[in-house]
């Protein structure tokens, strides 16, 4: 067991987690504070901050997610924010994507214990599923700098899908640093979004990137042009 005591939830938690979500949020907090810490998925010092820094901070991301979305949580770890989003948004289908076995085992146990029917746990890296799975939204928290995260997330998104990257005070700096890659990736928009006003302090900062269609490389465009030309000649014979 941990030597840190899990505090009771703040009053605002009752506004964020309603209905069935309330009992699931309480149960998940206990799982994080107990098995989550014992297995090294969460640091012992984080236990007093589970509600404020983790559960509530992740839950408010739901404000930015459209209805009935298919969401992939990249590098889900202990289920933050993916499991929390599944709890507060039962209309959203959540895929928890995580490469490490000990983490996927914990996530599967949580999904079973919380009786979440809108969640699947997928073991692997994002790049392994590019072109095989497609989602409306990709979420990520403390996984990688934005420029690297783009290379993992964008191939998993449909055209018009959104990456919601939870970032802290360096969000604007990361957005600027990724400017070249954003242009080359053909994204439609990239902006900072603030969620959770009146619920978490400070409000959570997201980098929201709307996926477009990546520009074809010159070699790909040339090959397509050659194929079209040969096809026209063939039809003319």
pLDDT in tens, 81-98: 999 999 999 999 999 999
Rounded CA-CA distance 15/75 in Å is: 28
The per-residue pLDDT for 203 is 94
Yes or no: say if 95 and 135 are a contact pair by the CB < 8 Å rule.
Answer: yes
* pLDDT attached to residue 213: 79
Q: What's the token pair of residue 113?
A: 């214990």
Residue 49 · residue 32 · CB < 8 Å: no
Is residue 56 classed as helix, strand or coil in its secondary structure?
Answer: helix
User: What is the widest separation between alpha-carbon atoms in the chain?
Assistant: 82
pLDDT tens readout for residues 41-70: 999 999 999 999 999 999 999 999 999 999
CB 187 within 8 A of CB 212: yes
User: Which residues are part of a known binding site for S-adenosyl-L-methionine?
Assistant: 75, 80, 126-127, 141
Q: Is residue 106 part of a domain?
A: yes
Helix, strand, or coil (residue 1):
coil
Global pTM reads 0.87
22 is a domain residue: no
How many domains does the structure of the chain reveal? 1
Provide the annotated binding site.
75, 80, 126-127, 141
Structural domain harbouring 100: 64-236
Q: How confident is the model at residue 170 (pLDDT cuts 50, 70, 90)?
A: confident
Q: How much is the average pLDDT of 215-231?
A: 49
Is the residue at 193 inside a domain? yes
Under 8 Å between Cβ of 113 and 34: no
CB atoms within 10 A of CB 26: 17
pLDDT digits (tens, 9 = 90+) for 98-157: 999 999 999 999 999 999 999 999 999 999 999 999 999 999 998 999 999 999 999 999
Residue 33 lies in a domain: no
CATH number at residue 201: 3.40.50.150
């Amino acid at each position: 067991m941990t030597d840190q005591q899990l505090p009771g939830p703040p009053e605002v938690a009752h506004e964020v987690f309603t209905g069935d979500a309330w009992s699931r949020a309480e149960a998940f907090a206990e799982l994080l504070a107990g098995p989550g810490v014992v297995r090294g998925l969460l640091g012992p010092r984080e236990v007093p901050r589970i509600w404020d820094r983790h559960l509530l901070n992740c839950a408010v991301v739901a404000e930015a997610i459209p209805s009935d979305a298919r969401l992939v949580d990249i590098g889900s770890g202990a289920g933050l924010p993916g499991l929390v989003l599944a709890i507060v948004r039962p209309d959203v289908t959540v895929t928890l994507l995580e490469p490490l076995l000990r983490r996927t085992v914990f996530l599967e146990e949580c999904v079973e214990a919380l009786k979440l029917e809108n969640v699947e746990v997928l073991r692997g890296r994002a790049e392994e599923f590019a072109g095989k799975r497609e989602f409306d939204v990709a979420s990520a928290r403390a996984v990688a700098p934005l420029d690297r995260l783009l290379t993992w997330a964008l191939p998993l998104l449909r055209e018009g899908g959104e990456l919601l990257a939870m970032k802290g005070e360096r969000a604007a700096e990361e957005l600027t640093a990724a400017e070249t890659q954003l242009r080359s990736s053909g994204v439609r928009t990239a902006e900072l979004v603030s969620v959770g006003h009146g619920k978490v302090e400070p409000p959570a900062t997201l980098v929201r990137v709307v996926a477009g269609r990546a520009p074809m490389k010159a070699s790909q465009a040339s090959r397509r042009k050659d194929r079209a030309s040969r096809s026209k000649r063939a039809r003319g014979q």
